[in-house]
Structure 1
């Protein structure tokens, strides 16, 4: 990648602890640790763990090298498989090589732009069904509502079924599994060691297997024309053999998990940011009133809702639904003048890059207006990558953007959402960026005399959804702290760090300057 020879064996970085290296800091420090590494050591940071060398890349050029230009040298890797394999198996997110290409080929048609457009009416209908459970003055957990809504949308779009009766089981299983992936003992101890977190992961997979098995059996009896499960059941490998039950389950569970969690998280943070920034909400509502009036949004309306799209983009910049990407080097490489040994793990954090003052003026401000065509052209490639990049870019990116805009437009056409608590959210980074606690909002109906919302638009034979109780399924938090004082200090440093109300004290640095943070 560089014409110069490697000048140092390793880039600068933290020294870590005896035996385990910087692993505890990395796992427990979360996003605050990633930011601190970028501030203190610059665009390429190195540390060691008890297993391997780790590099954190903070420059879009370096990230593009790994994800795009030399992507064949970088795979998900052993640790990614070890942590997520128990849930996702060998689905499209977790597989490599020929298995991944086969999976992608089977799933890709469901995400073709023409097919995605057909989902728009269903997305709006299900959002309005959610709003049928809302009422003026009510207080609700927005994250819970968005999780349920996006789960119902992805299930109907990709599987052709309404899984309303499974929603609680699926959300509990995913809510148990994801925090367990960041349990420090999971990183430090061999897989053979029985741990409570590993038991939770196993139980979560068992629950999802039961749900998906029932969906598969329904599709065997009554296959559809376009849904993913029916296509997987009809598919065969290169030797003409049908896919195994496990292969189909792995793919279905991957799509359920990745297909709803990320959009729900993104919409939760979007409502949070809008509640904190009334002037932005006013502009959004003015656009919706002008274009939609009393009508639900349609595909034809979206080109007339540019500010709505900017709000979604800016929310994904500040709170990317996936906080970072991990790859493992298959063979020795060179990045930024440093030799990257085979087997090294590469961390690339949207959270860090999206908040870099080199690319974004006032980077912690929530400013949808920044997303002009001129601004987007000026951004370096990979300075904004909420859906990843390269061949492994999220297959559902268009689906997610369509879904987010339609849901946001439908909700804010009817309601103003007021934060119940003024506490700044903190982010729990697993494979997604979940909020650390419920995001509770008080609902204010903007048009109480609006015509009745659409009902009865569901497919034939489908029963109406039973109203859900307002009581929340609280975000599950299981923290596994270690006793190292410095780790705790790093992780808890500057409460409210993740809020957009925080402003950096440093001037935006030049492209190659090191970032330094003030001492604590």
Structure 2
């Protein structure tokens, strides 16, 4: 009996040793282990490092970036990953379509976003990008600006009922950005605040599910994950989100097919003079009619753009207004610039007005440097690459840490300070093109970045024309927790006081 038990134990030990050698000591794993990184444990590698809270998980990445310059590795079972945050390595990975495929972790989003522009690759990605690019034509952005201006004025009116009291920016601005993406890209105005609230709550909940799955590596297996309460919760969230976006699609379909065709055929004309409107969703519905995309594809792109078009912009606006509240001298300079370039504070802002506000634009860029709404992206290396003088084998996941890139001392002097003048033309000379990438970079950069900048400039200028921002939450109070986008673990509060421009 004892002899049999001993043989079982010996066999198990041999199998475990073989697995350890396969996972951590042979071939590609041996190459990756030459890169510095946290100490690994027998067989499981660095798996236990992830079993911490979302706040601590975000801090862990920052500690690693401070400990290892340029690159560090992470190994767990048969998963190999390198983490990079220097512009030279990032350029190698992102500047071409060679390493354009997203890593396995993005598959966790697939039940929600399917094969939308964020997750798709190869020819499908190229085809979808081609369909959607005209939605961000300059003439279309001019029409979008009319809606953004109207929504910004409504936001100012909403704030008027809370003057002098601390306001949590997160729900305030996410309402604004959700309404704006629906009215512009989707061509549908939200009538129910309840449905919008349910949609946003499910976005937040699905983010928690995804982070929990990321940190517990046994949940990477779909068949294990699908047995858990987290999977059931995620499924319920996805169902509620799809119900909301499906309603948006159905409401836009009232547009007559011939009417939609006329609008899209006139993209090269002066759309403002013709008084014709187009939404991104119109392009998708027309492509569906022409057989270029099916109904599932339309749903995928609407889900992708509804999420990315409201949540990331809301995050960018939240941190920007918090920084402005904590830097009154910067607020004063923006207001002085508006007075000089625009004049009458009551007139409607035009795109031409906004193009004159160079200092405001620098403030937004600096805010996005300190608090990039998407702090982390990940690719699969399609072939071996030399990164920071280490040979990284094909098939390795490559995590690009934008947050750490933007706070490198060798790229940005006193990196944690808020200094908009970093983006003066004379101060940007010689800066590596991949040292600042808040909208990603390369061929797979953010298709909506011009829209996002237009939205941020419009609403911030409109707010500052009416209100003086006073700080409640300070940068020292910020405790980021790991999520799909950059989020504080608590509220981000600001006090709005009425401003009288003279």
Q: TM-score range by the shorter chain?
A: 0.7 to 0.9
| Cα deviation, residue 201, structure 1 | 2.0
For residue 261 of structure 1, the aligned residue among 307, 311, 319 is 311
| Cα deviation, residue 329, structure 1 | 1.6
Asked if the contact 2:100/2:444 (under 8 Å) is kept, the reply is: no
- 5 Å-filtered alignment, 1:115-514, equals 115-135=140-160, 136-165=163-192, 166-184=195-213, 187-189=217-219, 190-193=221-224, 194-223=227-256, 224=260, 225=263, 226-236=278-288, 241=291, 243-292=293-342, 293-294=344-345, 295-421=347-473, 424-447=477-500
- SS at 2:110 equivalent: helix
RCO (CA 8 Å, sep 6+): is it higher in 1 or 2? 1
Deviates more, 1:398-407 or 1:14-23: 14-23
- SS at 1:416 equivalent: strand
In 2 relative to 1, CA 216–283 (structure 1 residues): closer, same or farther, beyond 3 Å?
Answer: same
Q: CA RMSD in A?
A: 2.3
| Cα deviation, residue 375, structure 1 | 1.8
* In 1: Cα distance, 2:363 partner to 2:473 partner: 22
Deviates more, 1:85-94 or 1:426-435: 426-435
- SS at 2:408 equivalent: coil
* In 1: Cα distance, 2:228 partner to 2:500 partner: 52
| Cα deviation, residue 413, structure 1 | 0.9
Q: Deviation digits for residues 31-61 of structure 1, max 9, x if unmatched? A: 3222222222211211202231110112101
In 2 relative to 1, CA 325–113 (structure 1 residues): closer, same or farther, beyond 3 Å?
Answer: same
Q: Deviation digits for residues 73-97 of structure 1, max 9, x if unmatched? A: 341022212x211221110001111
| Aligned twin of 2:23 | none
| Aligned twin of 1:92 | 117
Whose helix proportion is higher, 1 or 2? 2
Deviates more, 1:7-16 or 1:119-128: 7-16
Normalising by structure 1, we get a TM-score of 0.80
- SS at 2:500 equivalent: coil
In 2 relative to 1, CA 421–32 (structure 1 residues): closer, same or farther, beyond 3 Å?
Answer: closer
Which ranges in structure 1 are unaligned for 5 or more consecutive residues?
1-5, 451-520
| Structure label with greater radius of gyration | 2
Q: How many residues align?
A: 440
- SS at 1:134 equivalent: helix
| Cα deviation, residue 152, structure 1 | 0.9
Q: Deviation digits for residues 375-417 of structure 1, max 9, x if unmatched? A: 2222112110001111110001111111111111011111112
Q: Deviation digits for residues 322-370 of structure 1, max 9, x if unmatched? A: 1011011233333233222222111111110110010111111001122
| Aligned twin of 2:88 | 61
Asked if the contact 2:136/2:448 (under 8 Å) is kept, the reply is: yes
